[in-house]
Every structure is written in C-alpha cells, then in structure tokens.
Amino acid sequence: CAGAWTLKESGVQAYLQSTMTRADHAFDGSSNLYAAQTYDKVSTQLFMEVGATDSLTLIVAPELLSISLASPADTSYFGPGYTDLGGRVKIAEGDGFVASLQAVARFPGAKPSEGPAVIGYVNGELDLRGLAGWNFVLWGLPSFLDLELAQRLRFGAPPDEWRLDATLGVRIAPRWLVLAQSFNVMSEGAGEAPYFDASYEYYKVQMGVMYDVSESFAVQASLVTTYFARNALQENGLVLAAQYRY
C-alpha cells in the first residue's frame, strides 16, 4: 500500500495480499509460551486506492478469510472478512517528507453464529491513524521509512487498540526492494467476557522483498512472525502480494 503518501489525482493502485499463518503456541498473561490448539488462517485482501485529488486518496479493501481451529474446538470458517472503506488526506509535505491522516471504517462479513473460528472478526471497527513518510539515502541506496500510529475503535465485546506500524524499504537494485516491517498492537485494557476479558498485546516483524516486474507491476514475498506477546497467539507465516499501478 502507499503508506503515508497519497496518489496523484486519477491515479489508481491495486494491491492484492495473501497472508498465511499458523499458530500452535500462545503467550500467556506473563508472556510465557505454551502449547495451544492449532490455529490456521489465510487472509486475502484486495486494497484498491484512487486519487480523488493530489491530496486525497480513497480506499476500499474487501477481504476473503479462511480460519481453522483444531480440537477441542474443531471448527472452521471460509467466507468474507472485513471490508474497509475510507480515505487518506495529505496534511503536510516537505523535502523528502510527507504527513497524512487516514480514517477507515471496517465492516465485518462474518457473523457470530459462524462459531469460535470467527472470534474477533464479527464486530465493526473504525481505524484512525496519523502517518508520516520519509524518502532518503541509506548506505548509498534509495530508501524510505513509513511510520503509522493508530487508534482502532472496536465496537461490541473487543477492547479498543493502539497500533504502531513501521516499514523500512531499501532499494538494493533497480528492480529489487528489501522491506523490513514491524506491526505492534496493544489493547486498551480488557473487553467483555468470555473471549475478551483480559488485556493483550502482540508484536510482529515481517521481512521480505519486492520485485518490479515492470514500471506498473510488482510482486512481493515476506516472512512474518509474532516474536513477543501477552495473552495472544504466536503466529508464523508467509505473505505473498502483487501490486499494480496505473
């Protein structure tokens, strides 16, 4: 996705991402790992962005979700996940710098009647974030840094969350971009029982590369892991993506 940057007027970007993760361990309330029921998830989301003006980018992102829980739950779900609708507005721009604000409403496609597999995916959400991006030279290579701080308002049983995302990109060759990413989530206290009666936090790191097939088309592959958490799953997986701009 474009991060803090907005698209030019009439510019269009499509970003298709599939994240495949598995967890058979979890972190307890003291951040100690323990064996847990196997949790498999595949989230495929199509992020589509359109430049309404040079300073305003509109966002729509439907999701297809597949989740499987092993025994004792022994349940699964396949169907629509969240659909995101929102926009990002540029509020400042300087030499190699941009700042923006973004608001995205998230509408769930799963229903509570689908069972335990969709816990955390059945309530509406509103994601409000501030974004900042820098272009610079690192070790003689063109690079960028994107920082995003968000409050995600979650309606219903789940607690609200603070989120901090960071992406460092370094272009090591004309067609190759190395990406180092960090995704951090901290709940604002606990939510409602029985599933959200404890606060939680989790921290993920994602490392990968993007290859420019052409000026308008690129593909990406990354590995992701939850390296530390509290009252959360220890997930590991693969991220595959394709980006098209026109």
**CA distance to 63, 66, 71, per residue, from 110 (Å):** 11, 11, 21
DSSP state of 116: G
Whether residue 117 contacts residue 96, with contact meaning beta carbons closer than 8 Å, is answered with: no
- Sole residue written with tokens 């009647």: 113
**239: which residues sit within 8 A by CB, 6+ positions away?**
17, 18, 19, 20, 206, 208, 220, 221, 222, 223, 224
- In this predicted structure, what is the pLDDT of residue 14? 98
> Which domains are present in the chain?
12-245 (2.40.128.130)
Q: Which is it for the CA torsion 154, 157, 160, 161, positive or negative?
A: negative
Q: Which is it for the CA torsion 58, 239, 27, 193, positive or negative?
A: positive
Q: What residues of the chain score a pLDDT lower than 50? A: none
In angstroms, the CA 1 to CA 104 distance is: 14
Percentage of residues in the chain with pLDDT exceeding 90? Answer: 97
**176: which residues sit within 8 A by CB, 6+ positions away?**
209, 210, 211, 212
- In this predicted structure, what is the pLDDT of residue 71? 87
- In this predicted structure, what is the pLDDT of residue 153? 99
Tens digits of residue pLDDT in 66-116: 999 998 889 999 999 999 999 999 999 999 999 999 999 999 999 999 999
pTM: 0.95
Give me the amino acid identity at 196: F
- In this predicted structure, what is the pLDDT of residue 60? 99
- In this predicted structure, what is the pLDDT of residue 2? 77
